[in-house]
Amino acid sequence: MKTFRIGGVHPSDNKLTAHCPITQAPLPSQAVVLLSQHIGAPAQCIVEKGDQVKVGTLLARANGFVSANIHSPVSGTISKIDNVADASGYNKAAIYINVEGDVWEESIIRNDELIRECQLDSQAIINKIDEMGIVGIGGATFPTKVKLMPPRDMTAEVLIINAVECEPYLTNDHALMLAKPDEILVGISILMKAIHVERAYIGIEVNKPDAIELLQQKVQSYTGIEVVPLQCRYPQGGEKQLIDAILRRQVASGALPISTGAVVQNVATAHAVYEAVQKNKPLIERIVTVTGEQLSQPGNYLSRIGTPISQLIETAGGLPEHTGKIVLGGPMMGRATANIDTPTSKGTSGLLILPEEQSHRHEPSPCIRCAKCVSACPMGLEPYLLSRAVAVDNLEIAEEHHIYDCIECGCCSYSCPAHRPLLDYIRLGKGKVMNIIRNRSTEKKQ
């Protein structure tokens, strides 16, 4: 069975909500919509306090090429445009909307009827995706249209759909595949048309046999799409790892994934593209897996963007006693948050509630040079060396050993028997080195 060739770990799945159907979460009384929900420049707010908005009304316009439009997830009145503490606790600009009813823009088609035919040409599809504010909702929130417009000297040969969901606990993509297989496949066809490719592969890990079976059955009525079952291994959902697993091609250090001829999109993004292009629906809601062993009603909740996470936890049965940590995202790449009032954004894939006894780190001890982190690193780096170099502030060595290639998957920290906080240091060093490289290139230009 296929999988990527370098490194990787296999944490236990813990997919508690694997067979929970998608449930509609109740509307919040107040939605807080962050202006920066994507990688790139924050969107430019175009509404004012007191404005009436409907579901799907444009709130903020993309500010630059790498940026995305933001639409209202609810209907009501804009109560203020102010800062809100995001998951990290730092203030970010946001639009506060008092929810009144649930009135949608007339242009959005709200029935469940499947529309298979798409008459638009490639450029029109990309424009539509841009207009509807679609970003990669697998977690990285990279604006989708940018990925669909490769640099001139590179051409896309194949589309890869990331339905791997290798993060433990998360099941939102799984639930979506079971509920909306046809919509996903039409979305994939639209994406294929947008980048002019004839082939598409859907990579799914074998811990989702029902999804593999269902999609394999459905793809027969679509041309050029193939389902590829993959061995369970983290971080297979990483763009570079998935390309390697399916195509056996490696992305060179510093190169774009498109250099291998592959465009990778998340399965939920494909679904969002379907809704945007065929139904005129902007990215205003997403499935959030709310999970944890102690929750009374864990599940996959379809919730509007901008819902406070406290409300989602309430929907899932309330915060259990002895909760130690609330993680936004999965346990490997997600970040713990101290702010329970933070709103969800386009990139919020899950909420993991960990009990007190599972939420503590072990005391780190000295490195014993066992090189487990080296074997685990899917990018072929030497995490023990990089973290040490950053700790003593020797960024030359860190750069020499390609710290900027780190994808921050956390395999090193996970595999370390001495419980060293390897990724913490590498992440810090990566930021510093990237800054140095950026400054160097701007200096050169001048």
Partner 1 sequence: MNIIITSIITLAAIGLIAAVILYFIAQHFKVEEDPRIEIVEGLLPGANCGGCGKAGCRNFAESCVKADTLDGMLCPVGGNETMKKIASILGKEAVEAAPRVATIRCNGSCQNRPRTNSYEGASSCAITHNLYIGESGCAYGCLGCGDCVSVCHLGAISIDSTTKLPVVDTDKCGGCGACARTCPRGIIEVRPLGIKGRRVYVGCMNKEKGGIARKSCNVACIGCGKCAKECPFDAITISNNLAYIDSNLCKMCRKCVDVCPTGAIQALNFPPKKKSETTTTDTSTQQ
Residue ranges binding partner 1 (CB under 8 A): 85, 87-91, 335, 337-339, 360-361, 391, 421, 424-425, 427-428, 431
Return the number of the residue (232 or 391) whose C-beta is nearest partner 1: 391
Return the number of the residue (91 or 127) whose C-beta is nearest partner 1: 91
| Distance from C-alpha of 2 to C-alpha of 171, rounded to nearest angstrom | 21
> Closest distance between partner 1 and the C-beta of residue 423, in Å?
9
| Distance from C-alpha of 53 to C-alpha of 99, rounded to nearest angstrom | 9
> Closest distance between partner 1 and the C-beta of residue 218, in Å?
42
| Distance from C-alpha of 294 to C-alpha of 322, rounded to nearest angstrom | 9
Return the number of the residue (109 or 428) whose C-beta is nearest partner 1: 428
Name the region of 313 (left: φ>0; alpha: ψ -120 to 50; beta: rest).
alpha
Say if CB 257 and CB 239 are below 8 A apart.
yes
Bridge-partner residues for 351, per DSSP? 290, 328
> Closest distance between partner 1 and the C-beta of residue 428, in Å?
5
Return the number of the residue (361 or 444) whose C-beta is nearest partner 1: 361
| CA dihedral over 26, 31, 33, 37, signed as positive or negative | negative
Say if CB 249 and CB 79 are below 8 A apart.
no
Closest CA to 186 of 278, 120, 109, 124: 278
Bridge-partner residues for 53, per DSSP? 76
Bridge-partner residues for 61, per DSSP? 44
| CA dihedral over 100, 105, 111, 116, signed as positive or negative | negative
Say if CB 46 and CB 60 are below 8 A apart.
yes
Closest CA to 5 of 321, 324, 378: 378
> Closest distance between partner 1 and the C-beta of residue 335, in Å?
7
Return the number of the residue (191 or 353) whose C-beta is nearest partner 1: 353
> Closest distance between partner 1 and the C-beta of residue 409, in Å?
17
> Closest distance between partner 1 and the C-beta of residue 92, in Å?
11
> Closest distance between partner 1 and the C-beta of residue 431, in Å?
7
Return the number of the residue (255 or 338) whose C-beta is nearest partner 1: 338
How many other C-beta atoms are found inside a 10 Å radius of the C-beta of residue 440? 10
